[in-house]
């Protein structure tokens, strides 16, 4: 079993900062990509940022220069530092981890339950 758990969401004023954390735990042989996604009610989920195990990073255009993704491979943890938050960043944020549970299994995407980020104007 693989578990993915996010933490760090909350309510913040526009211009403020939050740091999200996500830990993958359980039976894990290896983790490739880890990423952050967000969903606003009535809209499709969008990928905010992702990072592979070598540190290669991609960002969605609207968060470039404001959000920073990082990871600690030893702790199976990925972070999202969010600065200069805007009301349009309000969403449920989800973590994903592309995990190979055992040496004999394939990689599969595992998702957390989400953490709410609300930015007031």
Mean pLDDT value across residues 38-50: 95
Tell me the per-residue pLDDT of 58-114, one tens digit each, with 9 for 90 and over. Answer: 999 999 999 999 999 999 999 999 999 999 999 999 999 999 999 999 999 999 999
Instruction: Check if the beta carbon of residue 34 is closer than 8 Å to that of residue 20.
Output: no
Angular region, 103: left φ>0, alpha ψ -120 to 50, beta rest: alpha
Work out whether strand 115-120 and strand 91-100 pair parallel, antiparallel, or are unpaired.
antiparallel
Whether 41 has a pLDDT exceeding 90, the answer reads no
């Amino acid at each position: 079993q693989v578990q993915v758990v996010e933490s760090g969401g909350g309510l913040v004023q526009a211009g403020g900062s939050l740091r999200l954390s996500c830990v993958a735990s359980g039976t894990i042989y290896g983790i490739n990509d880890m990423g952050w996604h967000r969903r606003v009610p009535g809209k499709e989920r969008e990928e905010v940022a992702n990072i592979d195990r070598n540190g290669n990073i991609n960002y969605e255009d609207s968060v470039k220069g404001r959000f920073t993704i990082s990871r600690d491979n030893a702790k199976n943890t990925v972070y999202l530092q969010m600065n200069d938050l805007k009301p349009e960043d309000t969403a449920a944020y989800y973590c994903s981890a592309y995990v190979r549970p055992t040496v004999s299994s394939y990689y599969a995407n595992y998702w957390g339950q989400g953490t709410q980020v609300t930015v007031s104007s």
